Structure 1
Amino acid sequence: MSDLMLTDVSRWYGNVVAVNDVNMQIGPGITGLLGPNGAGKSTLLSMMAGLLPPSSGTVTIDGQPTRGNVAIYRRIGLVPVQESLYDFLTGAQFVRLNADLQRVIQPDKATERAIGLVDMAGAASRKISTYSKGMKQRIKVASALVHDPEVLLLDEPFNGMDPIQRRHMMGLLTHFAAQGRTIVFSSHILEEVEQIARQVEVVVAGRHAASGDFAAIRRLMTDRPNQYVVRSSDDRRLATLLVAEPSVRGVRLRGGKALEVEADDFGAFTHAVPKLAQENGIRILELTPTDESLESVFSYLVNS
């Protein structure tokens, strides 16, 4: 069982700040590192793995710095997001290479076991250049597992996998977590994190936005005010009706051509609009959410 600790961690490249003063404590089980693309998730995972030194702050596993620590490296399995592999090798050769680098005592046996875990035995003798994106993902996972690490770090591990492969991989990670391993995987897809992570760390623009169990994070996201543009056959009349709705926080005319509406309760609002329109003979011409991207959801967490 291993504890991963980030203390006041920042990373910058010249004048560009990739990660800004992040503090995290991650224990055994599955932790989802959630955030939009470009949030700094890959940089954080690289620092956790010891591949990248923090510009300031410390990253430790059980109190030992990860950077430049060979003993710690042998306890970590990393699945990077990059797709560039040694395409001229077969899958088995690629996994065996990492077994040799990690000085595994029985490398052939360990290679066969790791490939079997990700259900790639049938394609192990093929060159990686012939693999689909999902197969490349799985062979990367096999390579990360070959030395039986206590800590597993995965960067967008489900990219390119079909639903069956994704379900298999999620089951595998859940199995490892039950053994007491520490698993961190990054994703920008809320549903992936929801299915297997017990703990969620949210990162936005290099900042640590929120931390907690999934239910708490989900509640923060869904309870935020929702914004919409509404066009109708009678905007002024509809605005008057909407202002009286308990789910609506505010309404304003947008250039005399539409309404901008802010609502606290998504479900209640989407039921109220068609009901009010029908009862008052108003035609709804447009109802468009304006802040439904993950970036806007995460930004709300940062600024709330």
Structure 2
Amino acid sequence: MSTTSAVGTTSAEAPPATRVSTLDLAGVSRWYGNVVAVNDVTMSLGPGVTGLLGPNGAGKTTLLHMMAGFLAPSRGTLTLDGAPTWRNPEVYRRLGLVSEREAVHTFLTASEFVLASAKLHGLPDPAAAARRAIDLVELAGAQDRRIGTYSKGMRQRARVAAALVHDPQVLLLDEPFNGMDPRQRLHMMQLLHRLGDAGRTILFSSHILEEVEQVSGTVQVMVAGRLAASGDFRTIRRLMTNRPHVFVIRSTDDRALAVALMAEPSVTGVELDRTGLTVRAGDYGAFTRVLPKIALDRGVRVRALLPEDESLESVFSYLVEA
């Protein structure tokens, strides 16, 4: 079966996951001598797409390598469906990894590269599996060209195909959008959505906030080796009670509404200019509940209520500054 994507191309449909897999981390730390790369991280990852965020040096790659069984935790436990990933080759039947560092044989064609991965996994029909994976990443038209002739974005797609060839339940990707042009990036986002919707557990790291915001609302935020926040980033923002919430309001009478809001205890600041009304509220829930009542009492119609600082960029900057 095939589907037409929003960019006007045809790609293979992601098959449903044969089972549901969960990655669990409990008190995981990793250090190198006196340097602590990951510090006491606890999280659980299930089906769907999750973004792993953090500035450079936050510990994202180290965490992904431990999840993939390439590194042993210095402390804590890390399991896939209850089994440790470290020194456990069986996990690779259910897990695929696309590392940040490229590791491809440039003299191979994409078809040969993905086919080799299928054979290494001992699949019953490696040629069919390779074709399916190449179709998923939309490389069929260039599969017989040597990878050395590919752009960086095309090499990324070939590596994703090799990681998907055995149809894993868990897919870990470290900066998967690096080097992709806008069309390639859009297609990869759509592919991750389809895989997550089909029941797979997808975790991808990125330092580009727009990418994470478009692919997943669920985030794990790493700062200085620690897990700073976990969950839906909008919910995380609303729990930041030490940061006033900023709203832009458009109404039929901004001035009257501003006067009324200044007397509201949940409001900490009001600004009125030619562009409209900006309100800072200390309590998100209290403000959004009382605003309709105040507007109704003053005979004002609210045309728009827009959270100004509820983007992933705002949440991330607040967490890094903390």
TM-score norm. by structure 1 comes to 0.74
| CA-to-aligned-CA distance 1:165-218 (integer Å, 9 cap, x gap) | 111111111111111111101111222111121421100111100011132235
The 8 Å contact of residues 236 and 315 in structure 2, kept in 1 or not, is answered as no
Question: For the residues of structure 2 that align with 1:195 and 1:86, how far apart are their CA atoms?
Answer: 32
Per the alignment, residue 299 of structure 1 pairs with 320
Shift of the 190–167 alpha-carbon distance from structure 1 to 2, 3 Å rule, reads same
**Structure 2 residue identity aligned to 1:172:** L
Q: Size of the alignment, in residue pairs?
A: 243
User: Which of the numbers 104, 108, 116 marks the counterpart of 1:97?
Assistant: 116
Among candidates 52, 74, 85, match of residue 66 of structure 1: 85
Name the CA shift for 1:221/1:104 in 2 (closer, same or farther; >3 Å): farther
Q: Is the 8 A contact 2:30 2:75 kept in 1?
A: yes
Identity value in percent: 62
1:72 deviates by 1.2
SS in 2 for 1:105: coil
State the distance in 1 between where 2:156 and 2:97 align. Answer: 12
Q: Is the 8 A contact 2:23 2:80 kept in 1?
A: yes
Supply the AA of the counterpart residue of 2:219. V
CA distance in 2, matches of 1:84, 1:168: 22
Which amino acid in the other structure matches residue 299 of structure 1? V
Superposition map of 1:226-245 within 5 A? none
1:215 paired to 2:218: no
* 2:54 aligned residue: 35
Note if contact 1:74-1:149 (Cα within 8 Å) is conserved in structure 2: yes
1:36/1:298 contact within 8 Å kept: no
> Residue 74 of structure 2: which of 55, 71, 84 is its match?
55
Question: Is contact 1:36–1:294 with CA below 8 Å preserved after alignment?
Answer: no
Letter in 2 for 1:178: D
Please point out which of 197, 213, 221 is paired with 1:194. 213
Q: Over residues 86-108 of structure 1, what are the superposed CA-to-partner deviations in whole Å (9 max), with x where a residue is unaligned?
A: 11211111111111111111111
Q: Which runs of 5+ in 1 are unaligned?
A: 227-245, 249-266, 270-291
Q: Which residue of 1 aligns with 2:301?
A: none
What residue in structure 2 maps to residue 83 of structure 1? Answer: 102
Deviations 1:248-283 (A, max 9, x none): 9xxxxxxxxxxxxxxxxxx669xxxxxxxxxxxxxx
Distance change (3 Å), C-alpha of 1:48 and 1:247: same
Residue in structure 2 matched with residue 277 of structure 1 by the alignment? none
Distance 1:222 1:121 in 2: 51
The superposition leaves residues 150-174 of structure 1 with CA deviations (integer Å, 9 ceiling, x where unpaired) of: 0000111111111111111111111
Contact 2:47 2:200 in 1 (8 A): yes
Q: Which runs of 4+ in 1 moved over 4 A?
A: 218-226, 292-296
CA contact (8 A) 1:156 1:187 kept: yes
Change (3 A) 1:194 1:218: farther
- Offset at residue 117 of structure 1 (A): 0.5
Instruction: Select which of 95, 110, 113 maps to 2:129.
Output: 110
**Residue 118 of structure 1 contacts residue 169 of structure 1 at CA under 8 Å; is this kept in 2?**
yes
Residue pair 2:68, 2:97 contacting (<8 A) in 1 also? yes
* Alignment-derived partner of residue 146 in structure 1: 165
Q: Which residue of 1 aligns with 2:203?
A: 184
Letter in 2 for 1:87: T
Report how far residue 298 of structure 1 moved.
3.4
Aligned amino acid, residue 158 of structure 2 = I
Q: In 1, distance between residues paired with 2:175 and 2:149?
A: 21
Match of 2:186 in 1: 167
Q: Secondary structure at the match of 2:72?
A: coil
How big is the alpha-carbon RMSD for the aligned residues of Structure 1 and Structure 2? 2.4
Q: Residue type of the partner of 2:117?
A: N
The one-letter code of the counterpart of 1:41 is: K
Which residues of 2 match residues 251-262 of structure 1 at below 5 A? none
CA distance in 2, matches of 1:186, 1:220: 24
Distance verdict in 2 for CA 1:128–1:79, change over 3 Å: same
Distance 1:120 1:192 in 2: 22
Q: Report the TM-score, using the length of structure 2 for normalisation.
A: 0.70
Closer, same or farther: CA 34–219 of 1 in aligned 2, 3 Å: farther
Corresponding residue for residue 145 of structure 2 = 126
